[in-house]
Structure 1
């Protein structure tokens, strides 16, 4: 899976399931500020990532993930590591 597909899938479910304005999702935008998610929403986000990409995410994975670009990179690296 190429990065563009990963980005399209992530942005798609953020808009559809989390009701995020698609225009606010840019690589340099702040993840936490843009999404405005509470702790339960983050659980839903992790479950959605696992369902869409088959990768597991833990709390430690989110350390330092403050932009959408870093989030996309995290998911891409998890997919590559999964093999």
Structure 2
């Protein structure tokens, strides 16, 4: 899967799942505040990632994710690891 494809797919399910305006999702935007995430929303986010990309997410994976770019990088890296298996 190409990087642009991953970003577009990620944005699509984030917009649908968290009901945010497409224009509010930019690489440098803060993930938590833009999506209005609370602790329960993180569970929804994990479920959406696992359903859309087919890999398991651990709660500690989110510790280094602040921006959407961090999130994209995380998904891209996990997909690369998945392809190597």
Q: Do both share a fold (TM > 0.5)? A: yes
TM-score, normalised to structure 2, is 0.92
Q: Quick one: distance in 2 between partners of 1:42 and 1:26?
A: 19
Segments of 5+ residues of structure 1 without an aligned counterpart are none
Number of aligned residues: 83
Asked if residue 10 in structure 1 is aligned to residue 5 in structure 2, the reply is no
Aligned to 1:24: 24
Q: What pairs with 1:32-47 in structure 2 (closer than 5 Å)?
A: 32-47=32-47
CA offsets, 1:23-79, max 9 Å, x none?
Answer: 110000011111111111110110110011001111111111100001000000000
More helix by share: 2
Residues in 1 aligned to 2:30 and 2:46: alpha-carbon distance in whole angstroms: 18
Unaligned runs of 5+ in 2: none
Runs of 4+ in 1 over 2 A off after TM superposition: none
Q: Counterpart of 1:68?
A: 68
